[in-house]
Amino acid sequence: MNLRPALPSLSRFPESFPATWRDGLNTELAPDAVVVAWLEVDLDERLNFSRTCIVLCERELLARRADSAQWEHWPLHDELRLGHFDHAGIGTLELYDLQQRLARWRYTLEQNLAAQRLIKLFESQRLAIATGAPAPIDNNDVCPNCKAPLPPDEDECPICTRVEQTPPSTWTLLRLWRFAKPYQGQLLAGFLLMLGSTAATLVPPYLTIPLMDDILIPFHAGQHIDPAMVGLYLAGLFGAALLSWGLGWAKTYILALASERIAADLRTTTFEHLLQLSLEYFGGKRTGDLMARIGSETDRISVFLSLHLLDFATDVLMIGMTAVILFSINPSLALVTLLPLPLIAWLIHLVRDRLRTGFEKIDRVWGQVTNVLADTIPGIRVVKAFAQESREAKRFRDANQHNLEINDKLNRTWSLFTPTVSLLTEIGLLVVWGFGIWLVSKSQITVGVLTAFLAYIGRFYARLDSMSRIVSVTQKAAAGAKRIFDILDHVSTVPEPTRPIHLENVTGAVELREVGFRYGSRSVIRDLSLQIRPGEMIGLVGHSGSGKSTLVNLICRFYDVTDGSIRIDGVDLRSIPVAEYRRHIGLVLQEPFLFFGSVAENIAYGKPEATREEIVAAARAAHAHEFILRLPQGYDSLVGERGQGLSGGERQRVSIARALLIDPRLLILDEATSAVDTETEKEIQRALDNLVAGRTTIAIAHRLSTLRKADRLVVMDRGLIVEVGGHDDLMAREGHYYRLYQAQQRHAEELLLEGGAL
């Protein structure tokens, strides 16, 4: 008998704590101890896949490897530290005190969030012990779904979104109903028409019975043919053909219209949703992939709905109706006729399945061929400059050769397919012939009935091939639908406020309060506070990678802060409608992007209703007016891809004009002059001086000299603000800024010297 001691209150374990670790741990913990946090790491010290459980209680940290029975204990004390870092997909958690490292655990990044949470709770427990004050209650949100900790300020669970990455299921197609619903009337009408037209196609074989039994056979028996009867039957045949033609046309037309509209709605909805998503989403996706999803996947779904699904439904209806008719004429012959059907269907499916994997392979190989093209054509200048044409040609030839081989292999099976289907059909007919003749010889059925049967099954055996296709096209369409719903289901990480605050007049005071930000698990900005007065110009400097652009992205709200808050005129950015907020921002980037269209349209991009006078005034202020006039069609010249080529400096000035035209309260220049030569820079600088006047400006510049007009310089290093002040002030301090400046001066002098030596 197993007399267990009364269980210590069950609540000492969090609900999600795995049972495998629970049993041994119960006896290991002090009677009143409660598990505060736990982590199951999936690698061992030598990086083999093996689990280890780490448990944090109020007074100690415990760990046990899956292959050991022993729990290790580390009592918490003031000098105990838990740290983590990650590299190349593995995280490391280290426990150490002031003298040495006590333990180390490894995990794949899947567990990173849980690890960070463990560290956070460890810190608060440790502080509680050190200070004697109780640890703050952990109010970190957990995913309602899987109970895993959520990343701060995000309501999307990283684990559940991963689960959502399940392979496409055919049921996804049902979700298309949301888009089909507005067209349900048309769809119903189409279905009824389909019913009618299918029924009409089944009339002619039926008429072969009287044609045979009442006219042809009696004729052989010596009776004469009654032309009136023949005329009647022929008219029946013609009428049925005509009816099925008309109904078929109406059905196809109505359903094609509806499905095309469904696909169009799907396309627009997806694109509109996509535009609302945050930059983070775009950062993780390839342009080609997104384009394919919105373009060809919706098209594939439309073809599926209007063609394959329609055909399939027709075929099923036909087979159903035929079966009913056959059984009503003669059940035993009907049974024999229909028996080989499942077998034939299964055989066809088998061959198809092999073909399908082959076709998928071809799809992928085809992708490789196009990839070579996509690589080479945009990079043609590099290819030619390094005289590598023959290498690229070889790459293409190789890809093509691969394509050829795969195709050859598939064609062996493919060429077998159609003959095989015919063979199976013939065999099916053979069975019916044999059994039918036997029945006729027993006078069980008439010759007319046998002919009718042959006519009926000839029809639907032929349809079996197209029916077998439904499996693969459905799978493909389901995959397409899933890829689209992936976009539609994605919630923007920069959400619209639920209770928006509208800003009437923006003065442009920006306040950053203890801002922290991570890209995924990587911390890029830490504890950053800064107040910017209305109309002030801030120069943001620091080494490349110190987080300047990231800070600007946060201020533009391309991303939301992970900790702290950003306020404009005292209002948190997250409570202002996104589009409304962005209207107050003028952004000039290092790589100006011009859309395909005229120069004027590009300048007026942010304010399409701008008058021509306004556009010209903005261009003048941006020092773009004169070069625009030199273009062959002036302001109407086409720019952007395929259009009139503009130089880097010219593009930049167009983008400055664009920012000027919307008259923003907050102006952001991210390395706006870094990509151009010194001459052009001067020109742009003059344009910028116009832009800056009277606005809150945040300017990032690689060349420190460009920032001479800044009221304050903010020096960043590894995500922190290290210095703030005017140029002279910072030079006097001989700190970070001083060193940056000195380095640039030296560099400039070296350039001068080299120039002199030439």
Ligand X SMILES: Nc1ncnc2c1ncn2[C@@H]1O[C@H](COP(=O)(O)OP(=O)(O)O)[C@@H](O)[C@H]1O
For Mg ion, the closer of residues 117 and 526 by Cβ is 526
User: In whole angstroms, how close is the CB of 398 to other proteins at the nearest point?
Assistant: 12
For other proteins, the closer of residues 53 and 506 by Cβ is 53
DSSP strand pairing (60-65 vs 81-87) = unpaired
Interface pick for Mg ion out of 111, 201, 549, 685 (rule CB under 5 A)? 549
User: In whole angstroms, how close is the CB of 548 to Mg ion at the nearest point?
Assistant: 5
Of 95-103, 196-204, 318-326, 462-470, the segment contacting other proteins by CB under 8 A is 95-103
For other proteins, the closer of residues 77 and 364 by Cβ is 364
**String marking each residue 360-399 x if it binds other proteins according to CB under 8 A:** xx--x--x--------------------------------
Interface pick for other proteins out of 166, 287, 390, 443 (rule CB under 8 A)? 166
Interface pick for ligand X out of 95, 355, 481, 524 (rule CB under 6 A)? 524
The CA-CA-CA angle for residues 236, 242, 244, to 5°, reads 100
546 binds, among ligand X, Mg ion, other proteins, none (CB under 5 to 8 A by kind): ligand X
Residue 151 in the binding site for ligand X (CB under 6 A) = no
Residue 18 in the binding site for ligand X (CB under 6 A) = no
Strands (E) in 70-155, as ranges, are: 72-75, 81-87, 90-96, 101-108
Phi, psi of 152 (to 5 degrees): -55, 140
Of 127-135, 158-166, 299-307, 519-527, the segment contacting ligand X by CB under 6 A is 519-527
Alpha-carbon torsion angle 267, 271, 273, 274, nearest 10: 140
Residue 19 in the binding site for other proteins (CB under 8 A) = no
| Structure tokens that stand for 659 in this block | 């920012």
Calculate the alpha carbon distances from 749 to 381, 736, 753 in Å: 33, 20, 6
User: In whole angstroms, how close is the CB of 668 to Mg ion at the nearest point?
Assistant: 12
For ligand X, the closer of residues 244 and 278 by Cβ is 278
Which residue type is seen at 599?
A: V
Cα 585 to Cα 506: distance, rounded to the nearest angstrom: 11
For ligand X, the closer of residues 245 and 519 by Cβ is 519
Q: Is 383 exposed, middle or buried (0-12, 13-18, 19+ CB in 10 A)?
A: middle
Which SS3 state, helix, strand or coil, does residue 516 take? strand
Q: Are 573 and 587 in contact, with CB atoms under 8 Å apart?
A: no
Of 4-12, 164-172, 254-262, 316-324, the segment contacting other proteins by CB under 8 A is 164-172
Interface pick for ligand X out of 12, 548, 653, 665 (rule CB under 6 A)? 548
User: In whole angstroms, how close is the CB of 311 to other proteins at the nearest point?
Assistant: 23
For ligand X, the closer of residues 168 and 547 by Cβ is 547
Distance of CA 498 to the CA centre of its chain: 25
Q: Are 43 and 106 in contact, with CB atoms under 8 Å apart?
A: yes
| Structure tokens that stand for 368 in this block | 């490789």
Cα 649 to Cα 183: distance, rounded to the nearest angstrom: 52
User: In whole angstroms, how close is the CB of 109 to other proteins at the nearest point?
Assistant: 5
Cα 69 to Cα 49: distance, rounded to the nearest angstrom: 18
Cα 567 to Cα 413: distance, rounded to the nearest angstrom: 66
Interface pick for other proteins out of 2, 11, 27, 99 (rule CB under 8 A)? 99
Instruction: With CA atoms as reference, report the closest residue to 95 among 83, 107, 85.
Output: 83
698 sits in the region (left: phi over 0; alpha: psi -120 to 50; else beta) called beta
Which residue type is seen at 309?
A: L
Cα 638 to Cα 455: distance, rounded to the nearest angstrom: 64
Calculate the alpha carbon distances from 68 to 19, 23, 60, 104 in Å: 16, 14, 19, 16
Its sign, for the CA torsion 720, 721, 727, 732, is negative
Interface pick for ligand X out of 278, 446, 549, 697 (rule CB under 6 A)? 549
DSSP state of 215: I
User: In whole angstroms, how close is the CB of 477 to other proteins at the nearest point?
Assistant: 12
User: In whole angstroms, how close is the CB of 650 to Mg ion at the nearest point?
Assistant: 22
Q: Are 106 and 40 in contact, with CB atoms under 8 Å apart?
A: no
Residue 546 in the binding site for ligand X (CB under 6 A) = yes
User: In whole angstroms, how close is the CB of 724 to other proteins at the nearest point?
Assistant: 23
DSSP state of 634: G
Of 134-142, 194-202, 400-408, 548-556, the segment contacting ligand X by CB under 6 A is 548-556
Residues 271-310 touching ligand X, rule: CB under 6 A, are 283
398 binds, among other proteins, Mg ion, ligand X, none (CB under 5 to 8 A by kind): none
**String marking each residue 505-544 x if it binds Mg ion according to CB under 5 A:** ----------------------------------------
Interface pick for ligand X out of 550, 655, 697, 706 (rule CB under 6 A)? 550
Interface pick for other proteins out of 87, 381, 412, 499 (rule CB under 8 A)? 87
Binding residues for Mg ion, how many (CB under 5 A)?
1
User: In whole angstroms, how close is the CB of 551 to ligand X at the nearest point?
Assistant: 7
For other proteins, the closer of residues 72 and 260 by Cβ is 72
User: In whole angstroms, how close is the CB of 617 to ligand X at the nearest point?
Assistant: 32
For ligand X, the closer of residues 265 and 280 by Cβ is 280
**String marking each residue 443-482 x if it binds other proteins according to CB under 8 A:** --------------------------------x---x---
Tokens 């049972």: give the residue.
19
**CB neighbour burial string for 27-64, b if at least 16 within 10 angstroms, e if fewer:** ebbeeebebbbbbbbbbbeeeeeebbbbbbbbbbbbbb
Residue 251 in the binding site for ligand X (CB under 6 A) = no
User: In whole angstroms, how close is the CB of 536 to Mg ion at the nearest point?
Assistant: 21
Which SS3 state, helix, strand or coil, does residue 98 take? coil
547 binds, among ligand X, other proteins, Mg ion, none (CB under 5 to 8 A by kind): ligand X
How would you write 174-195 as a 3-class SS string? Answer: HHHHHHHHHHHHHHHHHHHHHH
**String marking each residue 31-70 x if it binds other proteins according to CB under 8 A:** -----------xx--xxxxx--------------------
Interface pick for other proteins out of 90, 119, 195, 369 (rule CB under 8 A)? 90
For Mg ion, the closer of residues 337 and 549 by Cβ is 549
Cα 478 to Cα 173: distance, rounded to the nearest angstrom: 6
User: In whole angstroms, how close is the CB of 744 to ligand X at the nearest point?
Assistant: 16
Alpha-carbon torsion angle 312, 315, 321, 324, nearest 10: -100
Binding residues for ligand X, how many (CB under 6 A)?
12
Cα 418 to Cα 143: distance, rounded to the nearest angstrom: 53
Binding residues for Mg ion (CB under 5 A): 549
Query: Which residues bind to ligand X, rule: CB under 6 A?
Result: 283, 519, 522, 524, 542, 544-550
Contact residues for other proteins, defined by CB under 8 A: 42-43, 46-50, 87-90, 94, 96, 99-101, 104, 108-110, 162, 165-168, 357, 360-361, 364, 367, 475, 479
